[in-house]
């Protein structure tokens, strides 16, 4: 990884709902370097969380039952921990990165739910939020297919796997836009 100002963090969550108060089952995150030409993935974070006290949407539970066994199993390894402990661990990871750029595949989903989970005080400033969906649009314009990043051995709907895949896609689009890819 390069200097701290080049470090970004990609976050992905798996939930039992789609509203801001949804129960969070899993958080995956990784550091990444936008300027990297060789993958650029640094430290990673993964935690599964015991669902307690937040909203569980039956439609989302049914959706999970239709996902692969690999994705379902990812929700239990590592073993789920209490929300309080998960909040603290994720806070420590984000703060330890010294990143000023927190990415998600939809700032209006993952980051909004995490914001609510932290009682409106997540471990980043609103001005540090970045949305990967804009990069997906740019990537499409540049001929970089997001779907090509699903052809790996990683598990779709595994929070850490998705965060890494998303970070690699952002790096690829960024490098293509700069004429390096």
- Kindly calculate the radius of gyration of the chain based on its CA atoms and give it in whole angstroms: 16
- The CATH number given to whatever domain includes residue 124 is 3.30.420.10
Report the pLDDT averaged over residues 53-62. 96
Q: Which helix (H) or strand (E) holds 119?
A: none
Whether the full predicted model's pTM is greater than 0.85, yes or no, is yes
Residue range(s) defining the domain that contains residue 43? 4-177
Query: Residue 161 is inside which H or E element, if any?
Result: helix 159-177
Q: Which residue has the tokens 């650029």?
A: 40
Q: How far apart are CA 107 and CA 136, in angstroms?
A: 13
Q: Is the pLDDT of residue 2 over 50?
A: no
**Contact yes or no for 25/75 (Cβ under 8 A):** yes
CB 60 within 8 A of CB 25: no
Q: Quickly count helices (H) and strands (E) in the chain.
A: 6, 5
The total number of structural domains in the chain stands at 1
Tens of pLDDT, residue by residue over 61-98, are 999 999 999 999 999 999 999 999 999 999 999 999 98
Dig out the tokens for 83 from the structure: 């929300």
Cα dihedral 34→110→115→160 (10° resolution):
-60
In the chain, beta strands by DSSP E: 7-15, 24-33, 41-48, 102-104, 129-131
Q: pLDDT, tens digit, for every residue of 140-172?
A: 999 998 888 776 667 889 999 999 999 999 999
SS3 (DSSP) at 22 = strand
- Asked whether residue 1 carries a pLDDT value surpassing 70, the answer given is no
- pLDDT confidence of residue 5: 65
Which tokens belong to 135? 């990069």
């Amino acid at each position: 990884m390069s200097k701290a100002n080049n470090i970004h963090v990609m976050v992905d969550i798996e939930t039992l709902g789609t509203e801001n108060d949804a129960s969070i089952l899993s958080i995956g995150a990784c550091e990444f370097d936008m300027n990297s030409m060789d993958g650029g993935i640094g430290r990673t974070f993964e935690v599964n969380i015991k669902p307690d006290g937040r909203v569980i949407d039956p439609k989302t539970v049914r959706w999970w039952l239709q996902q692969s066994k690999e994705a379902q199993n990812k929700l239990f390894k590592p073993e789920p921990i209490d929300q309080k402990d998960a909040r603290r661990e994720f806070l420590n990871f984000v703060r330890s990165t010294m990143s000023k750029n927190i990415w998600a595949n939809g700032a209006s989903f993952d980051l909004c739910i995490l914001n609510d989970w932290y009682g409106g005080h997540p471990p980043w400033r609103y001005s540090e939020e970045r949305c990967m969906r804009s990069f997906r649009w740019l990537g499409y314009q540049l001929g970089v297919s997001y779907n090509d990043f699903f052809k790996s051995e990683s598990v779709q709907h595994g929070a850490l796997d998705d965060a890494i895949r998303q970070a690699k896609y952002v790096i690829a689009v960024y490098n293509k836009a700069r004429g390096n890819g």
